[in-house]
Amino acid sequence: MKDNLTTCDRCGSDACYVQEVNHEIKNYMCYGCGFVTNSLMKKGEQFFEEQFEILPELYKDLLYEDKDGGVWIPSTVNIPTMGMVFANGTNKSNWHWSAVRSVPVSTDEDKEKYVKKDGTPYEHRMDMENIKNYSEKDYMEALEHIGVFEKQENGN
Ligand SMILES: [Zn+2]
């Protein structure tokens, strides 16, 4: 696998991370605008149509088609040990990124409330009371809020 940065076809920033899955498929994750796409995200492609069906309404509204027909959608980050970052709002003219940190499940009350299918408690839960909102261009700050970059810098 080869990783590198390119210019985002959606927002024009140079912080678009490309991951080559194979010769035909590349994933694109832009840290400038927080949107993602891949070579199969094109209208008419079965992969896209399947993804589209399960998208939340806001994500459908925020779809962006670039000059090559690539369809970009807002990314959703969900890392149980850190937190979540997702697009939140009512429509494309009224939305923001929301970042929620996870916290350890430590109290007895939480251990009863946050239970996996096998009956054991989760180790972390999303702390929705401490949700923070960021504007579209501040996607990186939203990721920082949940500590995504701290982890990478430590090399873990
Ligand atoms: Zn972008």
Q: What does the pLDDT look like over 106-129, one tens digit per residue?
A: 999 999 999 999 999 999 999 999
Ligand 1 center to 145 CA (angstroms): 19
Ligand 1 center to 82 CA (angstroms): 23
Share of residues in the chain with pLDDT > 70 (%): 94
Ligand 1 center to 115 CA (angstroms): 37
Given this model, what pLDDT does residue 156 score?
46
Residue 42 · residue 71 · CB < 8 Å: yes
What is the model's pTM?
Answer: 0.86
